[in-house]
Amino acid sequence: MIESLLPYAVNELKGRTALVTGAAQGIGLAIAQRLGAAGANLVLVDVAAHELQQVATHLRERGVSVIAKVMDIADRPSAQALRAELVEAASGIDILINNAAIGPERNDPAYLVAKPKFWSTPDALWLEMLRVNVFGAQLLSTLFAPDMVQRGWGRIINVSTSLDTMYRQGIGPYGPCKAALEASSRIMFQDLDGTGVTVNVLLPGGPVNSRMVPADCGIEPGDLIQPEKLAEPVLWLCSNEANDVTGLRLVARHWELALSVQERLTAATAPIAWPQLGAQSHIPAAKA
């Protein structure tokens, strides 16, 4: 069910255009609602056609400018066609939220209790998760980052998961794919550092009340992190106050609005991909 847009930070993002993938439900929907409430124009992408059109209709009824596209984010021709359409409409992407993913429930709806073995995952599902969960974010970032660099302002936020989820037994390909996305995010951050385009990773900090945690997992919906919890830090990361905030992984569960911004950053963030573990390889100096 789509919640009413909150009268929060109205027009803070007026004039900005945000592309949100996996926007028809769960985390993507919550983020889209919050960005729309802040005045952003929205480009919403999902493979669930009916649900996506419902979301677009509700948001438009609330005065939000919405383009809705049923699209496979890992299909290059489709992604290129979307960019070409936006260029034609003079609507560049300022904010890219790479949220769409195939979840562990596709492998087993009771994965948190059944803990299926790694050899039980079909090859086709493994490869599709790699394609969507990793390459999809890479592809869209590749297509839209250069435009952001040219304008001197942009945001890329990749939705990831906790370190212990990445290697949780029973999680199947989902965890390793998110680990790959995190490593990729650090490369993006380093390549874009100093351009005005920031790259940060957002994670819930636990299982979220969404389709990825079916009832078969045995957790009450009220005990899960609610998707709206992730929308709060996204809005801040997209604000001008966060122009110099890049290269961080942010745990939404620890982002408390009652704290000052600096206290929130201290409590909820760390560098992307754990460089604090120190260098673990020796690269010989290249000869000229």
Domain annotation covers residue 140:
yes
Q: How many Å separate Cα 90 from the centre of its chain?
A: 24
**pLDDT by residue (tens digit) across 146-205?**
999 999 999 999 999 999 999 999 999 999 999 999 999 999 999 999 999 999 999 999
Give residue 2's pLDDT: 42
The answer to the question of residue 3 being in a domain is no
| Residue 9 domain-assigned (yes or no) | no
Residue ranges making up the domain that contains 32 = 17-274
Which residue numbers in the chain have pLDDT < 70? 1-10
| Residue keyed to tokens 């009652």 | 258
- The answer to the question of residue 283 being in a domain is no
Q: Are 56 and 33 in contact (CB under 8 A)?
A: no
Q: Annotated active-site positions, please?
A: 174
Q: List, in sequence order, every residue forming a beta bridge with 70; answer none if it has no partner.
A: 46
Domains in the chain, number? 1
The CATH number of residue 183's host domain is 3.40.50.720
Q: Would you state the pLDDT for residue 91?
A: 86
**Does 8 map to a domain?**
no
- 207 and 213 in contact (C-beta within 8 Å)? yes
Phi-psi region of 223 (alpha: psi -120 to 50; beta: other; left: phi over 0): alpha
Structure tokens at 11: 């027009």
Q: Is residue 135 part of a domain?
A: yes
pLDDT at 10: 59
| Beta partners for residue 208, in sequence order | 225
Q: What is the pLDDT of residue 69?
A: 97
Question: What span, in angstroms and rounded, lies between the C-alpha atoms of 172 and 215?
Answer: 18
The tokens describing 7, both together, are 């009268």
Q: Does residue 280 lie within any of the structural domains?
A: no
Say if 288 falls within a structural domain: no
